[in-house]
Structure 1
Amino acid sequence: MFDLDADKFEALVGEIFDDLPDDMVDGLDNVVIVIDDLPEDGSLDLLGLYTGVALTDRGQYGFGELPDMISIYRLPLLSIVESEDELREQVRITLVHEIAHFYGIGDDELHSLGWG
């Protein structure tokens, strides 16, 4: 297991997000990315989670809507890697996976594309 404190992990996630293609992140309207140590159930099984209504399922979307949320879980990600390079790749995959859910791409399609 690789170890990285919360502040450095948050900075790493920010760097990776900033390096994602513009056409992937420019449409993220009213979406917040949060970093937690663990998901609510305390498990190490979940690396990230999208909470919200996918663009493909939205009707009227307007002023006053609560933001959608992408959660990135630090300890589960750290538990599956052995180096910073591996961590960077897993964080990138997790961000792309959760952003895809925002755009309405489901797990089955993500798996078929190699992002599952």
Structure 2
Amino acid sequence: MDKSITGLAPTADDIEAIARRALAALPEAFRAHLGDIALRVEEFADEEVLDALEIEDPFDLTGLYTGRPVGEKSVTDTAALPDMIHLFRRPLLDEWCETGVTLEALVTHVLVHEVGHHFGLSDADMHALEAAAG
């Protein structure tokens, strides 16, 4: 059913499908290092995460990478939690409505940003790359 006709907001499954398409569209050189990364869509980040990041408004966090960047991994790592990209549905939907950017473009942007963290890039590194590309 077409959600634009029914007026229903995109679900977590809808956002996950967009994110999986975005992952599949990444160049093979990147995808080769993303095989074990988990993707999770949640309504909001939990209070513990928000507190750790010193974020007061849960709508201010659209995505998060948790894990160790590729360059910091070691064969001696044991019992580590899986690397994970979290996408937060409600903040994504709010930003989508506020900016007028397509949901696909927004989810892809956030996902690529979190993939950048998986490869060890800082927010400053990614902003510099975006500025150079734009």
Percentage identity across aligned positions?
30
Pick 1 or 2: higher relative contact order, CA cutoff 8 A, min separation 6. Answer: 1
Determine which structure has the larger helix proportion and give its number.
2
Corresponding residue for residue 51 of structure 2? none
Distance in 2, matches of 1:67 and 1:46, equals 21
TM-score for the superposition, normalised by structure 2 = 0.72
Q: Which has the larger radius of gyration?
A: 2
Closer, same or farther: CA 14–30 of 1 in aligned 2, 3 Å: closer
Structure 1: 5+ residue stretches without partners: none
TM-score w.r.t. the length of structure 1 is 0.82
| Structure 1 stretches of at least 4 aligned residues deviating more than 6 Å after TM superposition | none
Equivalent position to 2:21, from 2, 15, 24: 15
Query: What is the aligned-residue RMSD (CA, Å)?
Result: 2.5
- Residue correspondences, number: 114
Structure 1 residues 19 and 61: CA distance shift in structure 2, 3 A: farther
- The structure 2 residue matched to 1:80, chosen from 95, 102, 106, is 95
Match of 1:92 among 108, 111, 120: 108
Aligned pairs for 1:16-31 (under 5 A) are: 16-31=22-37
Give deviations 1:25-77, integer Å, cap 9, x for gaps: 21124311111111113701111101111122223356654311110111111
- Cα distance between partner residues in 2 of 1:97 and 1:61: 28
